[in-house]
Amino acid sequence: MNEIFKNVKYIFSDFDGTISKYDVVHKFIHNFAKGDIDTAEKLWCEGKLSTKDCFNIQLAKIETLTPVMLEKFLDEIEIDPYFIQFYQMIKKENKELIVLSDGFDYFIEKVFKNHNLSDIKVYSNHLEMSLENGFLKFNTTCPNNNPNCLISSGCCKCGVAKKYTDCFIYIGDGLSDRCIARKAKLLFAKKSLEGYCKNENVHYIPYQTFQDIAYSLNLNGQKMKLK
């Protein structure tokens, strides 16, 4: 078994594009919003717009979404095919996995409920919903916000992790993972986070699926099977 894994209690993981196969929030907005949503996203990527402001600008452009349409969208979200087995493995080793996400609590909790994973703790942005004339209206609040966050995330992942420990493993893939990536005792990175780590000389282990992570941690005493 990996020595670092032996000595840590907590494994923190991103959700969108990490546990889920794709960025759920990005797909949601691109599927249902009408009009210009790219300008806000570009400003967010450049650090000129906070996560909260970016989301609320984009969510305001969703005008004809019904509750039935939303539930259908969420029920079709796919997760990494090895994640459940990985989660079961680390629980047997008395480790705790906590999700730190700059996405929406309602989305993550719904997906976890669909996969019998509701026992996983989630820290993220809060999605407020109301119904007007049969259509959903949205607003984002950020209960885990830090006004001094260097990347203007809605959920300050570093701040949440600090409440638990300074010694942890982190798994991520994107922009909102950059700060906490530097603090991890052991980091697993893919997609844009991997590119960032290469450019900034941040040590990481590349991965594509949670099977790769299990292999790196030497957890494959029992072979993972694709379900």
pLDDT of 190-209, one tens digit each?
999 999 999 999 999 999 99
Q: Which residue ranges of the chain lie beneath pLDDT 50?
A: 226-227
The two tokens of residue 85 are 């087995």
- Does the pTM surpass 0.85? The reply is yes
**What is the spatial distance between Cα 140 and Cα 153, in angstroms, rounded to a whole number?**
12
Quickly name the fold that domain 3-216 has.
Answer: Rossmann fold (3.40.50)
Rounded (10°) CA dihedral 213, 218, 224, 226: 20
For residue 152, the model assigns a pLDDT of: 77
Domain limits, the chain = 3-216
Q: Per-residue pLDDT tens for 39-85?
A: 999 998 888 888 999 999 999 999 999 999 999 999 999 999 999 99
Identify the helix (H) or strand (E) that includes residue 112: helix 105-114
